[in-house]
């Protein structure tokens, strides 16, 4: 990002929204976000509620970067293939959730969720495989919830369903490296997400040879161009993902995916299908297994309809103010 926009200007361009979900996603039932009407187009600031100001300030840097200027890198494609995302829902709800994503050929299944057992995960993956058939692709996301032995056991139990990769099976880089060594004879790749986006050194996972590919998100990595630099330095294939964004956030993710030199895997940019409403017209959701590249156009009526309550609006504006102060005092 170039010069930091003035706080008053940022606040004057902010709109806080609360968007309902079609189904509970981990602990989230409404997705709150600050939408910024920047000079270069709409942008989104939506770090999860539990994140510290230090971590959330990186998301603000990305939002200001995307809203106040265009990326310096050229777009190499105008359509991004995406996966469906399946939360930890009961078996009889799987078909309904997947139907919201249309013709996506790849499904990412959340596993190792609190209150769920490995048997629950096996049943969910089995049913998904049955529904999408042998040609479909399945990837898993454990969000670092397994320890090393649990991860090895789970991968060996679940690899019967022809997995594409398992995302962040363990929390630490050493655990990922050891798991990768243990399962090297199994045709299941290891992907790193939190070990990149939440790490002080996002390249440590690549240096440790702890992953076969990276899952990257534009917002927590500080923006499109910084994420591109991290991928280039890591030298690993990358999957661009989202953080349950509105269409504005998905537009930033699509901008990043459009600029990667190669795109070997379907991206996790289809979670707009899990929103019961959205602020864009048209919405950025999967069509024929892909989303387009371009800025989101906001619907004025939706922006009013989805405005957050006054107390939540005040909370987010105060958070934005604190994060702006973090950025203002950071080395540049």
Is 108 noted as a catalytic residue in this protein? Answer: no
Q: Domains of the chain, with CATH numbers?
A: 7-22+29-71+306-329 (3.30.390.10), 79-300 (3.20.20.120)
Q: What is the DSSP letter of 82?
A: B
Q: What is the pLDDT of residues 121-156, one digit of tens each?
A: 999 999 999 999 999 999 999 999 999 999 999 999
Is 198 noted as a catalytic residue in this protein? Answer: no
pLDDT of res. 28: 75
User: What is the residue-wise DSSP string for 302-329?
Assistant: HHHHTBPPHHHHHHHHHHHHHHHHHHHH
> Whole-angstrom Cα distance, residue 167 to residue 213?
9
Q: In 3-state terms, what secondary structure has residue 21?
A: strand
> Whole-angstrom Cα distance, residue 70 to residue 255?
10
Q: What is the pLDDT of residues 61-84, one digit of tens each?
A: 999 999 999 999 999 999 999 999
pLDDT of res. 4: 96
Q: Which of 100, 108, 124, 217 is catalytic?
A: 217
Q: What is the pLDDT of residues 150-183, one digit of tens each?
A: 999 999 999 999 999 999 999 999 999 999 999 9
Is 167 annotated for ligand binding? yes
Q: Which of 110, 250, 295, 324 is catalytic?
A: 110
pTM, to two decimals: 0.95
Q: What is the pLDDT of residues 13-53, one digit of tens each?
A: 999 999 999 977 767 789 999 999 999 999 999 999 999 99
pLDDT of res. 26: 66
Q: What is the pLDDT of residues 2-22, one digit of tens each?
A: 799 999 999 999 999 999 999
Is 141 annotated for ligand binding? yes
């Amino acid at each position: 990002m170039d010069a930091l926009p003035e706080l008053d200007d940022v606040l004057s361009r902010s709109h806080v929204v609360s968007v309902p979900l079609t189904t509970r996603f981990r602990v989230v039932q409404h997705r709150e976000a600050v939408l910024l009407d920047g000079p270069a187009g709409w942008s989104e600031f939506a770090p999860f509620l539990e994140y510290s100001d230090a971590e959330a300030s990186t998301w603000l840097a990305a939002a200001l970067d995307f809203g106040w200027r265009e990326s310096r890198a050229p777009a190499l494609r105008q359509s991004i293939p995406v996966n469906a995302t399946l939360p930890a829902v009961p078996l009889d709800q799987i078909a309904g959730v997947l139907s919201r994503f249309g013709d996506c050929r790849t499904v990412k299944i959340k596993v190792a969720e609190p209150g769920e057992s490995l048997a629950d995960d096996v049943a969910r993956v089995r049913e998904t495989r049955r529904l999408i058939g042998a040609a479909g692709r399945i990837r898993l996301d454990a969000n670092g919830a397994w320890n090393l032995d649990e991860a090895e056991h789970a991968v060996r139990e679940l690899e019967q369903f022809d997995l594409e990769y398992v995302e962040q099976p363990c929390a630490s880089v050493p655990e990922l490296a050891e798991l990768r060594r243990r399962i090297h004879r199994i045709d299941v790749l290891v992907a790193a997400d939190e070990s990149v986006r939440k790490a002080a050194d996002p390249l440590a996972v690549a240096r440790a040879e702890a992953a076969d590919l990276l899952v990257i998100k534009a917002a927590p990595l500080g923006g499109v161009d910084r994420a591109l630099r991290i991928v280039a330095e890591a030298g690993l294939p990358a999957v661009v993902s989202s953080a349950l964004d509105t269409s504005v956030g998905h537009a930033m993710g699509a901008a990043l995916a459009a600029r990667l030199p190669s795109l070997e895997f379907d991206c996790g940019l289809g979670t707009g299908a899990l929103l019961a409403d959205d602020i864009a017209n048209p919405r950025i959701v999967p069509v024929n297994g892909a989303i387009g590249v371009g800025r989101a156009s906001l619907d004025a009526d939706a922006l009013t309809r989805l405005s957050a309550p006054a107390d939540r609006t005040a909370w987010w504006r105060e958070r934005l103010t604190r994060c702006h102060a973090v950025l203002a005092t950071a080395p540049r």
